[in-house]
Amino acid sequence: MGRKRAVLALEDGSYFIGYAFGAEGTTGGELVFNTAMTGYQEILTDPSYKGQIVVMTYTQIGNYGVNAQDVESDAVQVNGFVVKEAFSFYSNPRAEKSLHEYLKEYGVVGIEGIDTRALVKKIRERGTLKGVISTEGSPEELVKAARALPDISELSLVDQVATDRLYFWKDGKTDRPPEGEGPLIAVIDFGVKFNILRLLAREGARVAVVPPSEAEEAIKELEPDALFFSNGPGDPERAVQGIRLARRELGKRPLMGICLGCQILALALGGRTYKLKFGHHGANHPVKDLRTGKVEITSQNHNFAVDPASLPKGVEVTHLNLLDNTVEGIRLGEEVFAVQYHPEDSPGPHDSFYLFKEFVRMAER
């Protein structure tokens, strides 16, 4: 891998000079940092990161390569990737190529060799910042380009990652409806991660994945036993189709949401959401289940949260983040529940897998 100069320029006027890896060129987006030590391939392919440049806090990234199995979608979704040290020499019998080759294949620009500790400290203190990574142009020009980027709340990012056609899931995507007697769950795809589909199927559900724009017609045709509102990128208030659908389906069948899906259900129930200072992105966030007192170690990836004071009577807050007391789960009666964290995350803690079993049992009833 060559050592071509690259620049990361931020809207606050600061910039970092390092080396390019992956594709060459220019990319921009909102900077967030992720505290996970492993799972960079799952992070790169998580559709919830669309529109964002991800900064990894762990120092060495790429040392076990990448492969075709450990993905959460069909493509690399991040706008850019920032690491302290990108390994071009990997050691893993499952690996098929290097991180550099992988990003280059998908046209994603990365930068390494910068002080990621200083960058993360800046984001923690200032909040999320818009930035540009480039192998072209001067730092001053790139700062201007970063300032000119639109706010992520102005972008319709779900449209860029949601499926454009209905498909089914059984050990992978298929056009054939899965056989069996398990409940049929329609997953409304705002940027769904594959492991959500895997775990629903593992619990015995028949899984259909539906575009938000065609969800109403698909539900009439499929007559599913339950609806699942998936994770996804961007401001939940822009997911208008999902909010309207959730309102129409309340009381008709069980509903579950994860991440953006949690925020969509909260908005449909009459609540509000707000943007966090720098979001939650990482693999070891403690979350307390208020019903049982149990603490789960969770993986998280969200920039927005539900305002508990806005939730109407009858909507219960079920989970809290023990780091900052933000809402991590809500419930309405026995047929609507959602969590803000990612119980399906892989690699990651398995503490919350029980939620998929609970939802499939609700669909069966």
Residue found by looking up tokens 């809500």 in the block: 330
344 catalytic per annotation: yes
Q: Give pTM, 2 decimals.
A: 0.96
What's the domain range around 40?
5-149
CATH for 31: 3.50.30.20
* 34: three-class secondary structure by DSSP: strand
Whether residue 77 has pLDDT greater than 90: yes
pLDDT digits (tens, 9 = 90+) for 196-239: 999 999 999 999 999 999 999 999 999 999 999 999 999 999 99
Distance, in Å, from the CA atom of 2 to the CA atom of 210, rounded to the nearest integer, reads 43
pLDDT digits (tens, 9 = 90+) for 131-171: 999 999 999 999 999 999 999 999 999 999 999 999 999 98
Distances (CA, A) of 162 to 31, 74, 133, 154, 157: 22, 11, 26, 17, 9
143 and 16, same structural domain? yes
323 and 344, same structural domain? yes
Distance, in Å, from the CA atom of 9 to the CA atom of 131, rounded to the nearest integer, reads 6
342 catalytic per annotation: yes
Whether residue 48 has pLDDT greater than 90: yes
Neighbour order of strands in the sheet with 336-339: 173-174, 167-169, 206-210, 184-188, 226-229, 255-258, 336-339, 327-332, 315-321, 272-289, 295-307
pLDDT digits (tens, 9 = 90+) for 321-359: 999 999 999 999 999 999 999 999 988 889 999 999 999
User: What number is the average pLDDT over the span 93-116?
Assistant: 97
310 and 164, same structural domain? yes
Give the per-residue pLDDT at 347. Answer: 84
pLDDT digits (tens, 9 = 90+) for 260-291: 999 999 999 999 999 999 999 999 999 999 99
Distance, in Å, from the CA atom of 27 to the CA atom of 45, rounded to the nearest integer, reads 17
166 and 140, same structural domain? no
Element (H, E) at 105: helix 99-105
- Over its C-alpha atoms, the chain yields an Rg (Å, rounded) of 20
Whether residue 1 has pLDDT greater than 70: no
178 and 142, same structural domain? no
Q: In b/e form, how buried is each residue of 144-173, taking b as 16+ CB within 10 angstroms?
A: ebbeebeebeebebbbebbbeebbbbbeee
What lies within 8 Å, CB to CB, of 106 at 6+ separation is 23, 75, 76
Percent of the chain with pLDDT over 90: 95
What lies within 8 Å, CB to CB, of 324 at 6+ separation is none
User: What number is the average pLDDT over the span 300-314?
Assistant: 97
Residue that is last in its domain, among 89, 116, 149: 149
247 and 138, same structural domain? no
Distance, in Å, from the CA atom of 56 to the CA atom of 37, rounded to the nearest integer, reads 8
Distance, in Å, from the CA atom of 131 to the CA atom of 133, rounded to the nearest integer, reads 7
User: What number is the average pLDDT over the span 19-40?
Assistant: 97
Tell me the CA end-to-end span of the chain in Å, nearest whole number.
56
Q: Which two tokens stand for residue 296?
A: 């789960």
205 and 69, same structural domain? no
Distances (CA, A) of 225 to 174, 180, 254, 331: 20, 14, 7, 18
191 and 71, same structural domain? no
Q: How many domains does the chain have?
A: 2
Distance, in Å, from the CA atom of 52 to the CA atom of 105, rounded to the nearest integer, reads 19
Q: Give one DSSP letter per residue of 7-25, joined into a string.
A: EEEETTS-EEEEEEEEB-S
281 catalytic per annotation: no
170 and 42, same structural domain? no
Give the per-residue pLDDT at 2. Answer: 52
Residue that is last in its domain, among 89, 122, 149: 149
CATH for 169: 3.40.50.880
Instruction: Classify residue 203 by burial, with Cβ atoms within 10 Å: 0-12, 13-18, 19+.
Output: buried
124 and 221, same structural domain? no
User: What number is the average pLDDT over the span 9-34?
Assistant: 98
Active-site residue (options: 11, 100, 259, 262): 259
Q: Which two tokens stand for residue 136?
A: 């072209």
Q: Which residue has the higher pLDDT, 1 or 188?
A: 188
